[in-house]
Structure 1
Amino acid sequence: MTDTPQPEPLLDDDQLDHLDDFLASERVSEDALDLIGTHGFLVALAVSPREVPPAAWVAELFQGEPDFSDDSEREVILGLLERLRHNAIAALEQGLLPELPFELVLDGIAPEETPIGDWCAGFMEGVFLDEAAWFEEDEEAAAALLLPFMALSGLFDEEPDMAEFVADGARLEGLVRQLPELVLDLYLHYRVPPETPKPTPRRKKPAGGRKGRKP
């Protein structure tokens, strides 16, 4: 037996295909996130230390109002998005790893040219939506925890400190394999309060108000 939790699908294949078809259609802005980016975006919202109002994240995801065919389609699509986010929260709350919609390997390809980079870019878009909440408590710890997502997203390649980091192919491959665990680490950091140490019981004073025995 192993202590490593198994990846938990956040939607089934039919639900993911349904979302993919809609997000890839002409009824959605060209600037909207695709399915992979949307998955990363919603997982970030599941981890986020502060709840983002649905109206705000839906507008960001779609970059405008999609051309829904009717209210029923709107309800179905938004319902699937919310279900993905909710299922991510439920899985992480139980200490389960989210199943990511791609193979966890780069094969020597630059991350930004793979679904891995697209997913991490979508994740970072979720962070940018309320960046202050992610960094206000402990900026140094937040930066360290988010560094793998930043490095794999390809959004920060122009940063001087990032160039050397992303040049290490073996390191990036290791981070890709750890992505589900890194998501769980972030969730535990932001969403699970540290255990409060039990208070030390006070010792009762001996009768007479003096400590210890009389000589």
Structure 2
Amino acid sequence: MAETPQPYPLLDDDQLDLLYDFLDSERVSDEALDLFGAHGYMIAQAISVAPAERNDRLAAVFDTAAEFDDTGQQQEIESALDQLCINATRAFEAGDVPDLPFDLDMSEEESDQEHPVRLWCAGFMEGVFSDETAWFEGHEDQAAELLLPFMILSGLFDEEDPELAAVGRDPREATRLAEQLPELTLDLYLLYRAPPEDAGKGSGKGKPAGRSRNTSRSGKSRSPRRGR
């Protein structure tokens, strides 16, 4: 019997606090990804067979040049972002799943776009949009099926597909989908690296459309949850 994938912390609490405070500050653009979006984006980069170059990854997180106090702070922030990607790869290679720094329960009263799950999924989809060919070429049906929960929960496609939007707004259904996210990231990683006969068959749900530009990339709403 296969072992159950275990949650693998990608950063410690101090690093999470560091990124949360900086990405929630006026040192970055209003369109910069917050901690949750950056976390999702970097995991997507770890999954992709054609990840962006380091400078391009950082540019995607910060949107425009960030204002650092000094080179020491810059190195600390950028190193934490790099570590997200590196540790995600280590987790997947060990057959484990990333430990997500927030509660997956979506039953709380909260603005749709401010829930950490939605921000994380929007950041993850940003990583997919950075090179859709790498994600879908040769795996279109399987990738689309595995990515569907990310698409629904991100809220980026609500205007394009009201039916999916309704699913994502239902607290019980949204929580059910959110609870699948860690293992779905591992499934996606294995999709591109497992032998073809082991990759499974997709449902043919189709390729997602591009990101809706009238949806903000960041919500900058909540600090990371401690002690899962």
Shorter-chain TM-score category? Answer: 0.7 to 0.9
Q: 1:48 to 1:73 in 2, by over 3 A?
A: same
Residues 99-140 of structure 1 show CA distances to partners (whole Å, capped at 9, x for unaligned) of 001111111657534111111011111111112211112222
CA distance in 2, matches of 1:73, 1:169: 39
User: Could you tell me which residue of structure 2 aligns to residue 96 of structure 1?
Assistant: 96
**1:167 Cα deviation after fit:** 5.8
Work out the CA distance in 1 between the residues paired with 2:33 and 2:40: 10
Aligned pairs, number: 195
RMSD: 2.1
Aligned to 2:128: 127
Secondary structure of the equivalent of 1:8? strand
Measured after TM superposition, the shift of residue 169 of structure 1 is 4.7
Q: What TM-score comes out, normalization by structure 1 length?
A: 0.83
Structure 1 residues 35-50: aligned runs within 5 Å: 35-50=35-50
Residue pairs, 1:82-93, within 5 angstroms: 82-93=82-93
In structure 1, how many angstroms separate the alpha carbons of the residues matched to 2:71 and 2:193? 34
Map 1:1-215 onto structure 2 (within 5 A): 3-107=3-107, 112-160=113-161, 162-163=164-165, 165-166=167-168, 169-194=171-196
Q: Percent of counterpart pairs with the same letter?
A: 52
Q: Residue 112 of structure 1 contacts residue 152 of structure 1 at CA under 8 Å; is this kept in 2?
A: no
Displacement of 1:49 in angstroms is 2.1
Deviating beyond 6 angstroms after TM superposition, the runs of 4 or more aligned structure 1 residues are none
Distance in 1, Cα, partners of 2:52 & 2:70: 26
Per the normalisation by structure 2, the TM-score is 0.78
* Corresponding position of 2:211: none
- Structure 1: gaps (5+ residues): 197-215
Q: Secondary structure of 2:40's match?
A: helix
Structure 1 residues 81 and 113, CA, compared in 2 at 3 Å: closer, same or farther? Answer: closer
CA contact (8 A) 2:6 2:96 kept: yes
